Amino acid sequence: MTSTLRRLLMLFTVLAVVIVFATALNPVSFMIQRLVQIMAAAGVWGGLVALLWKRKGIRTALLILPPLAGGLWLLPARRMNATELRADYVARLRRLESTPYLWGGESPRGIDCSGLPRRALRDALISRALRHADPGALREFAHQWMFDASALALSEGHRGFTRPLGIKGRISEMDYSPLLPGDLAVTGDGAHVLVFLGGEEWAEADPGIGQVVILKGHQDNNAWLKHPVTLHRWSVLL
C-alpha cells in the first residue's frame, strides 16, 4: 500500500468515525440520519480492515465480526419477561423527568412526546438484550430504532409496535384500573401522547412547559389531561 493511499484511508476512516459519533450525539433522529450512521459504521470497519490488513490477528478478528454478528442476530429469542421489561421501561421513563422538550428529539439532551416512550422502551430492550443475551430483544430494539413512530402512528399500530386497548376517555376522568404501567394515551387528533406510570401518575414531554413532567391524572390542571384520548399498549408488553 502506498503512503498516499494509506493517508487517504486514514482520512476516510477518521471521517467515518466522526460521522458515527456526530449522528449518535444528535438528539433529533430521522431515517436518513440513521442510514448515514449505519453506512459510516460500515466505513469505519472497512477502513480498519484495509489499514490493518497486514496484522493477521486484528485482520482475522475484524473479518469474523460480521458473520459472528449475523449469527447472533439469527439465534432464537428468549422468552420475554414482560413484567421485568415493563419495570425497567417505567424506571427509565422516570429518569427522563425534566429532560428539555425538543420536537423530533429522542435523547436525554432533548425529547418530544413520542420520543419519550420510544427512547425509554428501546433502552430497556437493549439492556435486556445485553443482560440476558437475548437476540429477540436486540431485534426488537433495532426494529424500533430504525422505524420511529409519531404519536399518531403509535395510535395506529405502526409496524405492529402497539395494540389498542379499546379504552377511550379523558385522563382527568377515566378509571385507571384496567391500565398497566407503560400504557400509552394518544390524543384523538394524534398530536400528543402521554404514558401511564402507575397509581395516578402520567409522564409526558410537554411542549408548553418545555420539559418532561410527571402529572397526577386526577389532580393536576394540565390541558393534555382533559383531551379525549385512546389507550394503547406496546406489543412487547402484552
Q: 135 or 69: whose pLDDT is higher?
A: 135
Portion of the chain with pLDDT greater than 70, in percent: 100
Among residues 42, 74, 106, which one ends one of the domains? Answer: 74
Would you place residue 170 in the very low, low, confident or very high pLDDT band (cuts 50, 70, 90)?
very high
Q: What is the CATH number of the domain that holds 203?
A: 3.90.1720.10
Residue 148 binned pLDDT confidence (cut-offs 50, 70, 90):
confident
Q: Examine the domain organization and report whether 154 and 95 are in the same domain.
A: yes
Domain identity same for 149 and 69: no
Domain boundary among 50, 74, 98: 74
pLDDT at 119: 97
What's the pLDDT at 235? 97
Each residue's pLDDT tens digit, 12-41 = 999 999 999 999 999 998 899 999 999 999
Do 14 and 117 share a structural domain? no
Q: Show which of 39, 74, 109 is a domain's final residue.
A: 74
Say if residue 189 is in the same domain as residue 145: yes
Please state the domain count of the chain.
2
* pLDDT, mean of residues 229-236: 98
92 shares a domain with 42: no
Q: Are residues 69 and 121 in the same domain?
A: no
Nearest 5 degrees, angle CA 137-CA 155-CA 177?
A: 85
Residue span of the structural domain in which 13 resides: 3-74
Same-domain pairing of 97 and 211: yes
CA distance 154 to 138: 20
Output the pTM of the full model.
0.92
Residue-wise pLDDT tens digits, 173-197: 999 999 999 999 999 999 999 999 9
